Structure 1
Amino acid sequence: MAGFKDLFSKQSKEYAASRPTYPRALFDFLAGLVEKRELAWDCATGNGQAAAILAEYFEKVVASDASAKQIENAQAGPNVRFAVFPAEKAELNDASVDLITVAQAIHWFRFDDFYREARRVARKGGVIAAWTYGLHSSSPEVDAVTQRFYKDVIGRYWPKEIRHVENRYEDIPFPFRRIDAPVFQIELEWSLRDLAGYLYTWSSVQRYMQENGSDPVEKTYPDFEKAWGGAAKMKVTWPIYLKAGRIH
């Protein structure tokens, strides 16, 4: 479909297995913002991880993605309906949605078109929340290797939209009445193997491999291994940058 950059279908299974999971406190906060909890729309759901948690708060969840491959690998509870449609053309009824969530994806959207749809499908008192997470951090030694890998090895293979993530979503238009939010972060205990699996989900890594016929993660792995220092697991954290607002 026109305008959709499908950068994740090829690694959709790895994406589902290796992406960081969001903190429960984030969903406690979001669910507490709405008057009703009848329907949530998780837009650009990817592997469905946000939808699965939303399903514990809402009677029904529609989890949509423009990538059929992502939906094939998504999993969630019985009150989640997965659907394939673009963010800018939602197959949802007018004034039907209490909460719209976009996790790590709004930077790919055509903003004006998506926001028009958000206004159409949101019921009175509805809330929209979009968030991204920044570059992960663990130890100073591992972080130094991560920075070199991110900037020097795969830096030029990132799509231009990554600038929105690097800018913490501060440059993304958000024409809604803002809601102050607490600070959230992702915290996981990961092995080096877990970290490597996560790096393979990066679109820049996939593009590097396609264009060069070689594996940048494999090439850099000895540096990561040395920096990791033999630990079985290490705490890895990601800062979350959230925008939340009242739609009507």
Structure 2
Amino acid sequence: MAVRLFEGKDHAVAYLQYRVMPQELISVVMGFMEKRTKSFHLAVDVGCGSGQGTALLAPFFTKVIGTDVSPAQLEMVPTNSSPPNVSYRQCPAEELPFESGEVDLVTAMTAAHWFDRERFLQEAYRVLRPGGCLALLSYTMDMELEYGDVSDALNDICKEFYAILFPYRNPHIGTNSVKIYTDMFDSCPYPDKEWNQCFRIKRTVTLNGFIGMVETFSNYQKFKQKDSAEAERLSSNFRDKLMSAMKASSPDAEVTMIVKYFYWLARKP
């Protein structure tokens, strides 16, 4: 069964502001495709949210369509700066509004763990043309920080933060999201497929940006729904701890954030 989250307007705004988009992984996906096909007409980004990842596909395809079940997320799409060949549709991941064999690339970026996975894989198989590709990308919550000679101290603080939020994980994704994707990879019948366990992406962010990203996660949002004031105190406490370790006077101090992506790619026979 699919799970619907990220549908509040405030959450959608924060998602657009803080989530990291994997430009480097788009290059990996396109490299996989370019070795296997000459057809780059239609790409479909499923569970596209506010379209940050969808837009990254625009230079490579004639047409790119992002789909999401959440109206709040789609309302956040920056329409004034969207590439002209990119559009969006509201629909479930398991019921894509495309003809069979019409799509060259189906991708889901940090979204497939919320889908009805068996039905989604069946739907992806239906809409992909022979030789079309499926690319599923996500990352683990244990982002790391780098800052001078206090990186270890910062990451110990981060681990405390993550540990407090861990009990609030949605049961649909269990204790380990990597296993969800390895299970999907194993169940995918395409013989031509690749799995990568860890692809590190580095971004320079402010401490506020790092805290803001953690706050977009579903377990933080669940904690916030239970006790909004306590959630705010938690964020403030860990922001102060990080600033202290860095000897920073402002939460706008910049650090290097490392996001650990994993992904799998497959070509439909």
1: CA distance, partners of 2:160 / 2:192: 36
Compute the TM-score of the two structures, normalised by the length of structure 2: 0.84
Alignment of 1:120-159 (within 5 A): 120-134=126-140, 135-138=142-145, 139-151=151-163, 153-159=164-170
Match status 1:188 vs 2:206: no
- C-alpha displacement at 1:9, in angstroms? 1.7
1:6 equivalent in alignment to 2:4: yes
1:230 is matched with: 248
**Structure 1 alignment gaps of length 5 or more:** none
2:70 corresponds, among 67, 71, 94, to: 67
- RMSD of the alignment, in Å? 1.9
The 4+ residue runs of structure 1 with deviation greater than 4 A are: none
Structure 2: tracts of 5 or more residues without a match? 146-150
Larger deviation, residues 176-185 vs 32-41: 176-185
Report the CA distance between 1:201 and its aligned residue.
0.5
What is the TM-score of this pair, normalised by structure 1? 0.91
The aligned counterpart of 1:169 is 181
**Paired AA for residue 210 in structure 2:** L
Q: What SS class does the counterpart of residue 163 from structure 1 fall into?
A: coil
Q: Specify which of 238, 241, 245 is matched with residue 262 of structure 2.
A: 241
* Cα distance in 2, alignment partners of residues 190 and 162 from structure 1: 29
Counterpart of 1:69 in structure 2: which amino acid?
Answer: A
Quickly say closer, same or farther: Cα 1:170–1:229, change in 2 above 3 A. farther
Letter aligned with residue 150 of structure 1? Y
Post-superposition Cα deviations, 1:114-144, rounded to whole Å, max 9, x if no partner, equal 1111111101100001011122111211211
Q: Give the number of aligned pairs.
A: 244
Question: CA offsets per residue over residues 59-118 of structure 1, 9 Å max, x none?
Answer: 101100011111111233121110110110001111110011111111111122111111
Check the 8 A contact 1:88/1:113 in 2, yes or no: yes
Would you say 1:199 and 2:214 are equivalent positions?
yes
1:177 shift after superposition: 2.5
Shift of 1:196: 1.5
Query: 1:40 & 1:143 partners in 2: Cα distance?
Result: 37
- Of Structure 1 and Structure 2, the greater helix share is in 2
CA distance in 1, matches of 2:52, 2:191: 27
Q: Secondary structure at the match of 2:5?
A: coil
Deviation at 1:181, TM superposition (A): 6.2
Tell me how far 1:163 sits from its aligned partner: 3.0
Identical-residue share of aligned pairs (%): 26
Q: CA deviation at 1:235?
A: 1.1
CA contact (8 A) 1:99 1:126 kept: yes
**Post-superposition shift, 1:155?**
1.6
**Does structure 2 conserve the Cα–Cα contact (< 8 Å) formed by 1:15 and 1:198?**
yes
Is 101-110 or 171-180 further displaced after alignment? 171-180
